[in-house]
Amino acid sequence: MHMQTEQIRLRHMKTRLLLNQISKFIFMLSAFFGLFFLAVLLVRVVTEGIGSINFGFLTGKLSTQPERAGIMGAILGTFWLMLVVAPVTMFVGVGTAIYLEMYAKKGKLVSFIQTNISNLAGVPSIVYGILGLTVFVRTLNLGNIVLAGGLTMSLLILPIVIVASQEAIRAIPFHLSEASYGVGATKWQTIQRIILPAALPGILTGAILSLSRAIGETAPLVVIGIPALLIPFPGSIMDRFTVLPMQIYYWTLDASLVSEYANLAAATIIVLLVTLFILNATAIIVRNKFQRVF
Amino acid sequence: MKVNKFLLFMIIAAFTALIAACGTESDDTKKDDSAASKTPENNTAAAQETETEDLEGSVVIDGSGTVYPLMARLAEEYMINEQEGVSVEVSRAGTSAGFKKFLVENGTDFNDASRQIKDEEAAEADKLGIEVKELKVALDGLTFVINKDNDWANEMTPEQLVSIFLADGNVEKWSDINPEWPDEKINAMGPNENHGTYEFFYEKILDKQDMNSNVNLQQEYSTLVNLVAEDKNGIAFFGFGYYVNNQEKLQAVGVDFGNGPVEPALDTIAEDGAYADFTRPVFTYLNVNHAKEKPQVRDYAIYVMNNINKFAGETGFAPIPETEVQEVISFLEGLK
C-alpha cells in the first residue's frame, strides 16, 4: 500500500517536472521572439545603412542627390520639436497628475477624467495628427512649423506622462505626506518639498520614455504636412521643419525613384535608433540614481 | 531630500529658461546663420552678376507626386546656385490634394499638377480672388508596366489596354484579350483619386467611362512598383519617370497606335512623338498674387522656366518647346 502511493507520487513527479521544463521553454521562446526580430531588423538596417553614415551625411543638408544628402536638418528638427514637447508635457502632464492625485476629490468627475485619459492613450496617433492640423495648423493659423508639430506631439504623449506621474505619486508612502501635514506644512508645501522630489524618478522615467515615442512618431506629422524636400536648417520653433522619422518615410517611398535612397533611409534609422538608445539609457540612469527606498 | 528639491528647482528653472529662450535666442542664431552662410555666396555672386539682389523668405510647393522629382531637383539647384537665403519647400500630396492647399487663404505658392486645373477648381480660385497662372513644365508619357516575367503582353493596342481597366470591358483574364494568352486573372492597378495621373487616365484615356472596381488604387507610386514587380499578372499605369527608374524591376508595354508598337522613351513622348496619344503635359500652377507680393516667388518661377528643359530629361520627362518657355518667362517678368 505504502509502496503504491510512493510510485504514484513518483509518476506525478515526472509529469510535474516535464511540465516545468515545457513551461520554461515556452516562456523562453516568447522572450526571444521579440529579440529575434529586433536582431533581424538591426542586421538588415546596419548592413544596408552603415556604409552611408559619415561626417558629411550627419552634418550635411538634405538633397535630392544621394551622394550629397545629409540629415542635419532632420536632427535639428527633432531637437527643436523636443524643445517644445518636453516642457509642455512635463508641465501639463505633471500638473494634471498632481491635481488628480492630490487635490481632486474622488468622485464622478475624477473617474470621468481618468477614464478619458486612459482612452486617449489608446487613440491612434494619426487622429492626433488630424486634431493638430485642424487646431494648430489651420485654426490658430500657425502653419506646419515646429510649434504646431510639437503641440500635436505633446497631446499624443500627454496621457502616458499623466499616467506615469500618477503612478509615481501614488507610490509614495502615505506616512511621508502625513508627517509633512503633521508639522504644519500646507498642501502646496507638501507637494513641493515632499511629493515631487520623491516622485521625480518615476515622473522623469515616464517622461523620457514618452519623449522617445514622440521622436519616433511619423503619422501625425504626415497629416500636418511636413515637406518632402526642405533644405534650410530650422533655427527656431517658428520655422518649418522635418524630423528623422519623416526622412525615413520619404526616402523609403522614393527608393522606387532613386535606389540609393534605401541606404540613406537605413542610415537614418541607425541614427534614430542611437538617439532612442541614448534617451532610454538616460531614463534608466535617472531612475537608478534617484530611486529611494522608503 | 535637500538635493532632490534643488534638482527639481533646477529642472523647472531650466525648462522655463528654455521656453523663454526659444523665441529670442533662436531668432538671433537664425540671422547669424543666414548672414554667415550668405557672405561667401554674396562675394561670388557679386563677382558674376552684380545686379542680382539677395532674396529671402520661403516658396511653398505642393501637388503632384509625378512632377515632384523634377520640381525637387529644380528647388535644390535654385537654393544652391541662385538664392541661398530662400527656402523652397516641396511636398507631394497629389494634384487634387495639392489644389486643396493651393486654393485657400494663404495657400501654397505653386501647385504641381499632372492634369489641367478643373473648372470647379478654377471657379474656387475666382471666388477667393486668387489669380492662377498655368505653367506647362514638361511632357510625360503615361506608361503601362508589367512584370518582368510577363512574356505575352509586351505589346498591346490602346483599345486592349483600356478594356482591362473598364468596368464593362469584359476582360478579367489575359485570355479574354487574346486566346493565346494565359488563362489567368489580370491584376490591374493604378494611382488613386488624389493623383492627377488617375484623373488624366480616367478622363482622357478611359474617356470618362466607369473604371473597373477591381482596379487596385494606391496612394504611393512605390507601392505600385513593388506590387507589379512581384506579380506576374500585374499591370499598372503611371508617369514615365517611375518606370525609367525601375527598368530593372519592370517592363513597359509597347503601345501599338496603328503604326507598330511604340515603347515610351524620352524621344517618343516628346512633342509630336510616336507615343503622343498617351503623352500629357504636366504643369505647375502659380499663385500670381503671391508672385506679385513676394519677390522670391516670382524669381523662383522665372528660374524654373529658364532651367526646366535642362533637368527634364534626367528626371524622366520630355522637354517642352523653347518658344512656349519664352512666352511664359516674358509673362512672369511683367509681374510686379
Q: In angstroms, rounded to a whole number, what is the distance separating the alpha carbons of residues A144 and A220?
A: 11
B271 touching chain A per CB within 8 A: no
Residue identified by cell 538591426 is A42
**pLDDT, mean over chain A:** 90
Q: In angstroms, rounded to a whole number, what is the distance separating the alpha carbons of residues B190 and B43?
A: 50
Query: Quick one: average pLDDT of B107-136?
Result: 93
Q: In angstroms, rounded to a whole number, what is the distance separating the alpha carbons of residues B37 and B126?
A: 41
Which residues, in sequence order, are CB contacts of A189 under 8 Å at separation 6+? A180
CA distance A115 to chain B (A): 29
Do strands B279-287 and B110-113 pair parallel, antiparallel, or not at all (unpaired)?
antiparallel
CB contact under 8 Å between A230 and B87, yes or no, is: yes
Q: Residue A144 has what pLDDT?
A: 87
Q: Residue B35 has what pLDDT?
A: 40
**pLDDT, mean over chain B:** 84
Q: A104: pLDDT confidence band, cut at 50, 70 and 90?
A: confident
Among B1, B2, B4, pick the best mutation site for testing chain A contact (most A Cβ within 10 A): B4
Tell me the chain B residues in contact with residue A193 when contact means C-beta distances shorter than 8 Å.
1, 5
A139 touching chain B per CB within 8 A: no
CB contact under 8 Å between A64 and B245, yes or no, is: no
Closest Cβ–Cβ partner in B18, B62, B242 for A257: B242
pLDDT at A7 exceeding the cut of 80: no
pLDDT at B220 exceeding the cut of 60: yes
The answer to whether the CB of B148 falls within 8 A of the CB of B192 is: no
pLDDT at A231 exceeding the cut of 70: yes
Query: Quick one: average pLDDT of A245-250?
Result: 93
pLDDT at A67 exceeding the cut of 70: yes
Tell me the chain B residues in contact with residue A229 when contact means C-beta distances shorter than 8 Å.
72, 75-76, 88-91
CA distance A162 to chain B (A): 17
Query: Quick one: average pLDDT of B136-141?
Result: 93
pLDDT at A45 exceeding the cut of 50: yes
Q: A294: pLDDT confidence band, cut at 50, 70 and 90?
A: low
Q: Residue B42 has what pLDDT?
A: 43
B87 touching chain A per CB within 8 A: yes
Q: In angstroms, rounded to a whole number, what is the distance separating the alpha carbons of residues B327 and B308?
A: 14
A185 touching chain B per CB within 8 A: no
* Residues B270-323: tens digit of each pLDDT: 888 899 889 999 999 999 999 999 999 999 999 999 999 999 988 889 999 998
Q: Residue B169 has what pLDDT?
A: 85
CB contact under 8 Å between A290 and B4, yes or no, is: yes
Among B12-21, B69-78, B193-202, the least confident range: B12-21
Closest Cβ–Cβ partner in A86, A197, A228 for B91: A228
Tell me the chain B residues in contact with residue A95 when contact means C-beta distances shorter than 8 Å.
none
Residue B206: DSSP 8-state: S
* Residues B10-56: tens digit of each pLDDT: 555 555 544 444 433 333 333 344 444 444 444 444 444 444 678 88
The answer to whether the CB of B97 falls within 8 A of the CB of B147 is: no
Q: Which A residues in the span 219-248 are in contact with B, Cβ-Cβ below 8 Å?
A: 225-233, 235-240
Query: Quick one: average pLDDT of A170-199?
Result: 91
Q: Residue B13 has what pLDDT?
A: 52
CB contact under 8 Å between A63 and B225, yes or no, is: no
Selection from B80, B70, B144 nearest residue B113 by Cα: B70
Q: Which amino acid is at A128?
A: Y
Cell, residue A132: 493638430
In Å, how far from its chain's centre is CA B154? 27
Q: Residue B52 has what pLDDT?
A: 64
The runs of H, that is alpha helices, within chain A are: 2-49, 55-59, 72-98, 108-121, 125-132, 146-170, 174-182, 187-190, 196-216, 219-224, 244-254, 261-290
The DSSP result for B135-190, as a single string, is EEEEEEEEEEEEETT--S-SEE-HHHHHHHHBTTS---BHHHH-TTS-S-B-EEEE
pTM (two decimals): 0.80
Q: Would you tell me the crossing angle of helices A261-290 and A2-49 to the nearest 10 degrees?
A: 130
